[in-house]
Structure 1
Amino acid sequence: MSMRSVSLTRMLTLVSVLTAAGIITVLLLQGHSSAAESHARMSSVADSTSSSAAPASAAAPASAKPSAKPKPSATAPAAPAANAALRSAVAGANGAVSVSVTDLGTGRSLTYGAPGHGFATASIVKLDILSTLLLQAQDQGTVLTAAQRSLATTMIENSDNNAATALWNQIGQESGLNTANRRFGLVSTSGGTDGNWGLTSTTAADQVRLLRQVFTGDSLLSSASRSYVQGLLGQVESDQRWGVSAAASGSDYAVKNGWLPRSATGLWVINSIGMVQRDGHELLIAAVSDGNLSESSGIALVQSVARAAADSLNGS
């Protein structure tokens, strides 16, 4: 082969290599351009959704109807609204008043009036003192002594203050009461200090929680303890049967009342708690009040709110 032929062959080979390289470069540039455009499109989508509260894929279509609110569970009935009589009674109180009621059969419940207000218990704390005493005895594997039972009887049935003081000291005063109440599930009750058990602070809702410990099987108290307390509450002396008993449809009820004139103001604390039978329903009711002008006006107030709250459960 001549030198001229060799040179021509090398030249043609070089041209082929350069041509191929150019094609590859074009392909690479085209690929880079496509990837860049794709990234740009993705960035544009991201920018368009970044100012929204949710990604576009999670947003509801403009024509979509809002989802329905979940229906109340059968095990958690919707709370009834306070009726006109209850609203009027609470609004007309000279001081503060609150009522809480639970239907043990239906599970419906209502608490109304004075949210966040702590009420002095006066003598309704005597039920709490006895419940604490019984819980402590259960913890120790013992039963109440004859002396303790005698004190408990006069404390509940006659609302005797000396008996209450004796048992208050035996349970460890406010420390013992507060410890038991935490176990009972009371969340807004604090024992009175310096021996002043009547100044224990509570709410209507907490008092219904305490009543559940006495009147239902969902309780830390034994069946024997519950029956014992129920018997005493059903035998309070006749002049102390006012209060939530006004909501009963007959004479089947168990109550404990409290009344206390405040020395600083001359105004009355009037409270009532208990279980009543109303039209075939067992209701736990607590009505607590303070700032009443007189004992009689306070009694009328708690009786009116107890009746109205019971009616509200039935939608009347």
Structure 2
Amino acid sequence: MLATLLSAAPHAPAQAATARTAPDDAMARFRALVQPQGKARVTAAVLDLDGTGREPVVYGDDSPYDTASIVKVDILAAALLQAQNAGHDLTAQERARATAMIERSDNAATNAMWRRIGLAPGLEAANKRLGLTSTKGGPGARWGLTQTTASDQIRLLRAVFDTAPAARATPTALDESSRTYIRTLMARVVGEQAWGVSVASGSGWALKNGWLQRSTTGLWDVNSIGQVTTRGHRYLVAVLSDGSTSMKDGVALVERAARAAVSSATAH
């Protein structure tokens, strides 16, 4: 299956939009509102899908973070690309695993799907076609240690959510059926996992969150990616963080960052 993915590329890869750093005044407001504590750090990226600009704005240092479970969206995208290339849909078993992986963040289902796509090499082959440029798959079975940047997560979200008119839409290797499938699952995450970027939404959201306590430090990686709708516009939002002393603190940090980043975007 990996060989199929590498050799068959009937669609153009997604364009890798160049991220731009938030202006100094916006960055200052962001930092004042977010205020990471101790060793914690956070980066947020936002793209207004219904605006005129096509580059995400990044708040913070756009450096690599562990994905934790947000990589599950990327894994599903890779599996769907492989199925497209083979000329068939996901099997019933694969669809059941995909549902568990996204809606409930089930790790056993993710382990199976990670093996199915060919581990890190399969993920990275798919990401070349999706336009991701700064994501490196985790070693061996450790998909949660995949490294990514906030701007790369916006590229992934654009491949799934960007439905702008064809003249300015981002080309993507995912067909419309695959895009709709991923969006649907991300809109159905279980209630106890509906935190994160959803706090910045006014009338709708679809998301995937990730959380991981690092055994080497005891500190937490907490991330959230997705689409939110507020004030009549759809925004893609990716918030990555690490170094929090507890998951609760990490969630609070991510939510402050999501609110601050989207608030700044809606002010323009």
**TM-score (ref. length: structure 1):** 0.72
Equivalent in the alignment of 1:211: 157
Structure 2 residue corresponding to 1:119, chosen from 43, 65, 72: 65
Structure 2 residue corresponding to 1:234, chosen from 171, 187, 194: 187
Structure 2 residue corresponding to 1:183, chosen from 119, 129, 152: 129
What secondary structure is seen at the aligned counterpart in 2 of 1:276?
Answer: strand
> Quick one: percent identity of the two aligned structures?
48
Equivalent in the alignment of 2:3: none
| CA offsets 1:6-63 (integer angstroms, 9 cap, x no match) | xxxxxxxxxxxxxxxxxxxxxxxxxxxxxxxxxxxxxxxxxxxxxxxxxxxxxxxxxx
Is the contact between residue 36 and residue 253 of structure 2 (CA under 8 Å) also seen in structure 1? no
Alignment partner of 1:198 is 2:198: no
Code of the residue aligned with 2:236 in structure 1: it is L
| Alpha-carbon distance in structure 2 between the residues aligned to 1:100 and 1:311 | 12
Alignment partner of 1:104 is 2:58: no
What secondary structure is seen at the aligned counterpart in 1 of 2:173?
Answer: coil
Equivalent in the alignment of 1:11: none
**TM-score (ref. length: structure 2):** 0.85
| CA offsets 1:92-148 (integer angstroms, 9 cap, x no match) | 343221100000011443101123x21000000000000000011111111100000
Is the contact between residue 259 and residue 295 of structure 1 (CA under 8 Å) also seen in structure 2? yes
What secondary structure is seen at the aligned counterpart in 2 of 1:285?
Answer: strand
Q: Can you give the 5+ residue segments of structure 2 that lack an aligned partner in the other structure?
A: 1-17, 164-169
Q: Which has the higher helix share?
A: 1
Bigger radius of gyration among the two? 1
Greater relative contact order, per chain length (Cα 8 Å cut-off, separation 6+): 2
Code of the residue aligned with 2:183 in structure 1: it is Q
CA offset at residue 312 of structure 1?
1.1
**Equivalent residue pairs, number:** 239
| CA offsets 1:247-288 (integer angstroms, 9 cap, x no match) | 1013x1001000001111110000000000011000000000
Equivalent in the alignment of 1:40: none
Structure 2 residue corresponding to 1:267, chosen from 219, 237, 243: 219
Code of the residue aligned with 1:102 in structure 2: it is L
Is the contact between residue 122 and residue 258 of structure 1 (CA under 8 Å) also seen in structure 2? yes
Is the contact between residue 83 and residue 312 of structure 1 (CA under 8 Å) also seen in structure 2? no
Is the contact between residue 244 and residue 306 of structure 1 (CA under 8 Å) also seen in structure 2? yes
Alignment of 1:284-295 (within 5 A): 284-295=236-247
CA offset at residue 315 of structure 1?
3.0
Q: Can you give the 5+ residue segments of structure 1 that lack an aligned partner in the other structure?
A: 1-75
Moved over 6 A (4+): none
